[in-house]
Structure 1
Amino acid sequence: MSYDGFYDRLKVVNKGDFQYARVNFYISDIGTNEACAIKSGTILTENNEYPLNYTEQAQLLLPFDKQLDTDKAVIVVQPQNPVHDCQLKLQIEANELEGLSFTKQSLFTIHTELDELLADLSGFFVSKLMWFLLPEQKGVVVTFKKPMHFDDESIECKKSVCYFAVADNWQDDTKELADIADVIKVTPWITK
């Protein structure tokens, strides 16, 4: 895979004022969407070879490096299972939440950042002139470490994944809903 596509998206995140929203890259199975376990990875340029960092969840930990973009670097990933049919998955998410309380206010902030990042990644043409093509973000999807339940009509849970329909009045609600340590990640809840 060519590094320039990754660099262009990382540049959007770095230019924006995002405290929590990120663009992360994963290698997943085409059929099941489960992580494709990675055996090895390399970043190659014409003159150099660098190790590729990745997680057990098959997340590629790519550097934001102008020189790699200039040098037309290529990302090479070897899956552990050679017969796996793997694909690249781009995910807008918030998964670095240290120091944050799990409140409606914090979910409102994350929701706003994820929505802004989605618009920024869509570019000027789509976000300003063809806004009707942008997906509508209803709220956020929170993946927890364990099954959860909330007594709130705006929150729907299916085992450890909960859908939060974020409203404007959440901006000032600082009542803690759960322990932030139980949260794995927060992603946009796209409805169209």
Structure 2
Amino acid sequence: MLKKLLASSLLLSSIGAYAGDVSLDYKGFYDRLKRVNKEDYSLITMAFYVPNSKNCKIISGKITTERKSYPLIYNKDQQLLLPYDEKLRSDRALIQLNLAGDTTRCGIQVQIASKTKQKHYEATSLQQMFAEMDALYTDLQGFPMKYFSKGISGISFNFQSVTQIKVNGVPKQVEDKFVLTESELKKLKHLEFSNNPVRISPWFNH
């Protein structure tokens, strides 16, 4: 179940409302971010997305407590860029979203993802990213399943349009997704994209 959730970004929880304002407890997001921040993961995070469809369009958003209101930052991929803040958790903050469309099938997606999305990568940074993704994936499974985990199989790069790629200088073209397997990563020296990826996440072949 966890593998499917992280690999294909299945819905974490249904928002279950029609167009308008939706409130979500910040604590649920904080608890997931805490799993990342308690370890020294410098390249990855837990990413939260509102599905980018006609029924899940973000009009605006904010983070609120009883006394204060803060702007909610999100990108064009509708990733919620949430702070990791103990005070917001203790103040019982809410994530408030104003959505357009029929949101009964909308939800929040959670996924292990790279913090940055670059056009150029050297082998060492991608090897570290793979190791961190694999370690966090194993940790999220908990006891005793983490001792039986097969781990991740590679790294997936998603794009918004056709992208030119160079693997160790050898060119190729992809439509919207490129997968770098663990075995390919071991042979990699450098990787180049003509466009910045919109999402970089673990890939599974099992």
Q: Distance in 1 between matches of 2:188 and 2:167?
A: 16
Contact 1:141 1:187 in 2 (8 A): yes
Three-state SS of the structure 1 residue aligned to 2:107 is strand
Alignment match, 1:10? 33
The residue identity in structure 2 corresponding to 1:12 is R
Alignment match, 2:146? 131
Post-superposition shift, 1:120?
2.8
Q: How does 1:1-192 map to 2 (within 5 A)?
A: 1-28=24-51, 36-79=56-99, 81-84=100-103, 85-97=105-117, 101-123=120-142, 125=143, 129-131=144-146, 134=149, 136-144=151-159, 146-148=162-164, 159-167=175-183, 170=186, 175-179=189-193, 182-192=196-206
Q: Distance in 2 between matches of 1:116 and 1:187?
A: 13
Q: CA RMSD in A?
A: 3.2
Q: Distance in 1 between matches of 2:84 and 2:32?
A: 10
The residue identity in structure 2 corresponding to 1:140 is I
Post-superposition shift, 1:96?
0.8
Go from structure 1 to structure 2 and tell me whether the alpha carbon gap of 1:139 and 1:27 turns closer, same or farther (over 3 Å shift).
Answer: same
Contact 1:139 1:189 in 2 (8 A): yes
TM-score (norm 2): 0.71
Q: Distance in 1 between matches of 2:139 and 2:178?
A: 26
Go from structure 1 to structure 2 and tell me whether the alpha carbon gap of 1:63 and 1:17 turns closer, same or farther (over 3 Å shift).
Answer: same
Contact 2:48 2:109 in 1 (8 A): yes
- After TM superposition, the runs of 4+ consecutive aligned structure 1 residues lying more than 6 A away are none
Contact 2:165 2:191 in 1 (8 A): no
Q: Distance in 2 between matches of 1:143 and 1:150?
A: 15
Post-superposition shift, 1:28?
1.1
The residue identity in structure 2 corresponding to 1:188 is P
Post-superposition shift, 1:4?
0.8
Contact 1:143 1:185 in 2 (8 A): yes
Q: Deviations over 1:107-127 (max 9, x none)?
A: 22211111112223334x2xx
Q: Distance in 1 between matches of 2:77 and 2:185?
A: 35
TM-score (norm 1): 0.75
Structure 2 stretches lacking a partner, 5+ long: 1-23
Go from structure 1 to structure 2 and tell me whether the alpha carbon gap of 1:179 and 1:159 turns closer, same or farther (over 3 Å shift).
Answer: closer
Post-superposition shift, 1:19?
1.9
